[in-house]
Structure 1
Amino acid sequence: MPFVEILAVAVALAMDAFAVAIASGAALRIVTNRQTFRLAWHFGLFQAAMPIIGWFGGFLVRDYFLRFGHWIAFALLLYIGGHMLWEGLHHDEDDVCQDPTLGSRLIMLSVATSIDALAVGFTLAMLGLSIWFPAAIIGVVALLFTAAGMHLGKFLGCQTRLGYYAEVLGGLVLMGIGGKILWQGL
């Protein structure tokens, strides 16, 4: 597979992570290097690992994940997005939003934004192509897009009123991404 095609796939896969990172940065408004590293590292790691898992899983679990992977991603994103939406609509001005770069929220976001990379691994396995170089490129691109998204979100949250509505917007974005994944999978 030519490098340009791998890069195009990597950019397409990183768009979900980029959107979530923008919403996370806007919600946090003060984004530390540590938070940026945590979110970017996890998103990049999961984006790189999912195609490898899909490649190794190949034909063993191919039908199950191709049939239900979009439902899993939809359910995770709907849950997280719904929770963010609810918290954004039901909080006091003194409340501090939960840090999406910590704990189970970070893991669920990492899985949810990288589930579509599983299909790329299946596809590469069916084409008989190596997975290692594409997985590395996919991971690095996701890492870079996530880091950029965090800081773009921070800028938007500080410079506009987006920061006040970031949790609501972030929840709607996650639910929208989940709906898109479900729609594409049906």
Structure 2
Amino acid sequence: MNLASTIFLAFAMSTDAFAAAVGKGATLHKPRIREALKTGVIFGVIEALTPLVGWALGRAAAQYVTAWDHWIAFGLLFLLGARMIREGLSNPGHEEEKPNSHSFWVLALTGFATSIDAMAVGAGLAFIDVDIFSTAATIGFATMLMVTIGVMVGRVVGATIGKRAEIVGGLILIGVGSVILAEHLGYLS
């Protein structure tokens, strides 16, 4: 795989993480670049590790990961999104009540949910001549960059939609999960 293909793959793998990051950024009270970078690093590390895990599992586990990755991602993102929507509806939410940051575990779970498909990609890469470590690092870096930008975009969106940011963020996560599921089931080509 050449450098251009690796970079294209990396940015393609990070689009769902970008969308989730916009939702995460929208739910925060004016997130700063430090929070955006923290979120980007967490997502990027996870997105870099999952293809390595998939690659290590190789052919034996590829059929199982591929068979279930979209359902797992959908389920996790749906639950996280539903939780955000419930919180947005139960708390009419005053701007000052928005958190300044998300917990590590919420970010890690969201990052994992958006990167499960990278495990299947890693398993597929085990069968071609590719430097998996540089490919995984490129995927991780692209995700870090896209998520950092996504959180800052979410800041603008959050300021525009005000107290409904939590609901919109939840809808974005459910939407990302639904797109992942629809793509893998063949409804989107």
Relative to the length of structure 1, the TM-score reads 0.91
Q: Distance in 1 between matches of 2:86 and 2:157?
A: 22
Match of 1:144 in 2: 145
- Quick check: 1:100–1:106 contact (8 Å CA) kept in 2? no
Q: Distance in 2 between matches of 1:111 and 1:99?
A: 22
Q: 1:93 to 1:174 in 2, by over 3 A?
A: closer
**How far apart are 1:40 and its partner, in Å?**
0.7
**How far apart are 1:32 and its partner, in Å?**
2.9
Relative to the length of structure 2, the TM-score reads 0.90
Paired amino acid for 2:116: I
Paired amino acid for 2:183: Q
Per-residue deviation, residues 62-100 of structure 1 (Å, max 9, x unmatched): 111111111111110010011111111111334734566
**How far apart are 1:163 and its partner, in Å?**
3.1
Per-residue deviation, residues 148-174 of structure 1 (Å, max 9, x unmatched): 11112112322x2x2322111111111
1:14 aligns with 2:11: no
1:66-145 equivalence runs, <5 A? 66-94=66-94, 96-97=97-98, 101-145=102-146
Match of 1:59 in 2: 59
- Quick check: 1:10–1:138 contact (8 Å CA) kept in 2? yes
Q: Distance in 2 between matches of 1:121 and 1:129?
A: 10
Q: Distance in 2 between matches of 1:110 and 1:99?
A: 19
User: Aligned pair count?
Assistant: 184
1:4 aligns with 2:7: no
Per-residue deviation, residues 124-153 of structure 1 (Å, max 9, x unmatched): 112242201111110001001111111121
Q: Distance in 2 between matches of 1:10 and 1:136?
A: 9
Match of 1:23 in 2: 23
Give me the CA root mean square deviation.
Answer: 1.7
